């Protein structure tokens, strides 16, 4: 577990940047981000890039950046583990008094970082950057995200701030708390919310990608949402208990109705179509219930293996010096 490393007694900010096939955006990223960090008053900084198994020239570009700047470090994972694992690797590597996860695509403007730092100086341990304008995203993505947050917060004991991504500032105390959470299937937004601490919110307008294409397809977003729901709520399991009681009550009620009707009107020819329909319906419901149970059993199975969240193949950049902000 890394501890904060003071540089000349000045607080250190660690910017964590997971990268997967981001060769097109990296030059613009450095052009936009460096002036912001250099202008931070009374604050040193470091950049920790995590190469998450990129298949293009991202790693070569990152190595070049690390050779050019002493305050840049590159963590190269052995394969693509996914953004949650890459972010975890960056948090583990960070040495700062404050840590800021930040996407390389620049949809979250770096100009917001000084506002996060200002709130931290006021005494907040967590400063969440919340999007107030997501017009750069498609309507379907905005609507599905809104439905996910509402659904998750309804069934879970942990509320996720709506329209808030991974972009936020966390103090060293928060980072140390996150490093104590050992699950291998990680839903970072939920973990950020679970640890708590004194929290403030800074609002901003989300922008379009500076270059490249998004790495999240509709299917990956669906699986990501499923991960979030099953990570912090057992209500989907409990629902099937209630549904079973309702179904059993309905079956008993129908049996009583059939018995009374037979005693009064005799035994008419049964409706085979209705019987087949009911059997198929209940069979489908049972399969859905088994699928929900299977999701949770699968998580138990994976956690029981106790595999590491990620594997590091190599590290580049000495990182013994920190960049110095404005003074």
Distance from C-alpha of 76 to C-alpha of 78, rounded to nearest angstrom: 7
8 A C-beta contact, residue 119 and residue 201: no
Residue whose C-alpha is closest to residue 210's, from 20, 55, 23, 83: 23
Whether residue 59 has pLDDT greater than 80: yes
Which phi and psi (to 5°) does residue 184 adopt? -90, -30
For tokens 């949770």, what's the residue?
Answer: 296
- Looking at residues 179-199, what average pLDDT do you find? 82
pLDDT, tens only, 29-42: 999 999 999 888 88
Is residue 65 helix, strand or coil?
A: helix
For tokens 């730092």, what's the residue?
Answer: 117
Residue 50: pLDDT band with limits 50, 70, 90: very high
- Answering whether pTM is above 0.85, one says no
Is residue 324 helix, strand or coil?
A: strand
* Residue 126 DSSP one-character state: E
Q: Give the bridge partners for 169, in sequence order.
A: 127
What is the structure's pLDDT at 135? Answer: 61
Residue 151: pLDDT band with limits 50, 70, 90: low
The residues spanned by each domain of the chain are 12-232+308-324, 235-305
What is the structure's pLDDT at 48? Answer: 93
8 A C-beta contact, residue 149 and residue 229: no
| CATH class of the domain comprising 12-232+308-324 | alpha beta
What is the structure's pLDDT at 14? Answer: 92
Distance from CA of residue 30 to its chain's centroid? Answer: 24
Distance from C-alpha of 240 to C-alpha of 237, rounded to nearest angstrom: 6
pLDDT, tens only, 271-293: 555 676 677 677 777 777 777 77
8 A C-beta contact, residue 67 and residue 313: no
What is the structure's pLDDT at 74? Answer: 92
Q: What's the burial of 204, exposed, middle or buried (CB within 10 Å: 0-12/13-18/19+)?
A: middle
What secondary structure, in 3-state letters, does 25-72 show?
Answer: CHHHHHHHHHHHHHCCCCCEEEEEEEECCCCCCHHHHHHHHHHHCCCE
Enter the tokens of residue 307: 């595999």
Residue whose C-alpha is closest to residue 13's, from 81, 76, 97, 71: 97
pLDDT, tens only, 99-120: 999 988 888 889 999 999 999 9
- With pLDDT > 70 as the criterion, what percentage of the chain qualifies? 68
Whole-angstrom Cα Rg for the chain: 25
Distance from C-alpha of 275 to C-alpha of 74, rounded to nearest angstrom: 63
Residue 145: pLDDT band with limits 50, 70, 90: low
Helix (H) or strand (E) holding 76: strand 72-77
Whether residue 305 has pLDDT greater than 70: yes
Q: Give the bridge partners for 99, in sequence order.
A: 14, 170
Residue 43: pLDDT band with limits 50, 70, 90: confident
Distance from C-alpha of 208 to C-alpha of 135, rounded to nearest angstrom: 9
Residue whose C-alpha is closest to residue 16's, from 121, 81, 89: 89
Helix (H) or strand (E) holding 170: strand 164-171
What is the structure's pLDDT at 226? Answer: 61
């Amino acid at each position: 577990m890394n501890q904060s490393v003071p540089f000349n007694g000045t607080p250190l900010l660690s910017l964590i940047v997971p990268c997967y096939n981001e060769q097109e955006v990296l030059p613009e990223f450095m052009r936009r981000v460096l002036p912001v960090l250099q202008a931070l008053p009374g604050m040193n900084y470091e950049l920790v890039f995590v190469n998450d198994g990129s298949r293009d020239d991202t790693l070569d570009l990152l190595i070049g950046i690390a050779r050019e700047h002493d305050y840049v470090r590159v963590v190269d994972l052995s394969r693509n583990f996914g953004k949650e694992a890459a972010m975890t690797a960056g948090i583990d590597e960070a040495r700062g008094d404050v840590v800021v996860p930040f996407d390389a695509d620049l949809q979250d403007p770096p100009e917001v970082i000084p506002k996060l730092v200002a709130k931290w100086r006021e005494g907040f341990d967590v400063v969440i950057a919340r999007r107030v304008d997501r017009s750069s995203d498609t309507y379907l993505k905005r609507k599905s995200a809104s439905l996910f947050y509402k659904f998750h917060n309804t069934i879970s004991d942990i509320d996720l701030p709506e329209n808030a991504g991974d972009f936020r500032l966390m103090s060293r105390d928060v980072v140390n708390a996150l490093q104590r959470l050992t699950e291998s299937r990680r839903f970072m937004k939920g973990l950020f919310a679970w640890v708590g601490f004194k929290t403030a919110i800074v609002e901003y307008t989300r922008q379009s990608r500076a270059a490249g294409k998004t790495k999240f397809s509709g299917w990956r977003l669906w699986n990501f949402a499923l991960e979030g729901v099953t990570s912090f709520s057992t209500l989907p399991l409990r629902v099937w208990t209630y549904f079973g009681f309702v179904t059993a009550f309905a079956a008993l009620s129908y049996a009583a109705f059939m018995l009374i009707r037979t005693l009064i009107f005799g035994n008419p020819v049964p409706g085979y179509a209705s019987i087949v329909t009911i059997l198929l319906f209940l069979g489908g419901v049972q399969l859905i219930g088994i699928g929900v149970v299977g999701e949770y059993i699968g998580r138990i199975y994976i956690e029981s293996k106790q595999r590491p969240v990620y594997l590091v193949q190599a590290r580049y950049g000495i990182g013994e010096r920190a960049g110095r902000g404005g003074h």
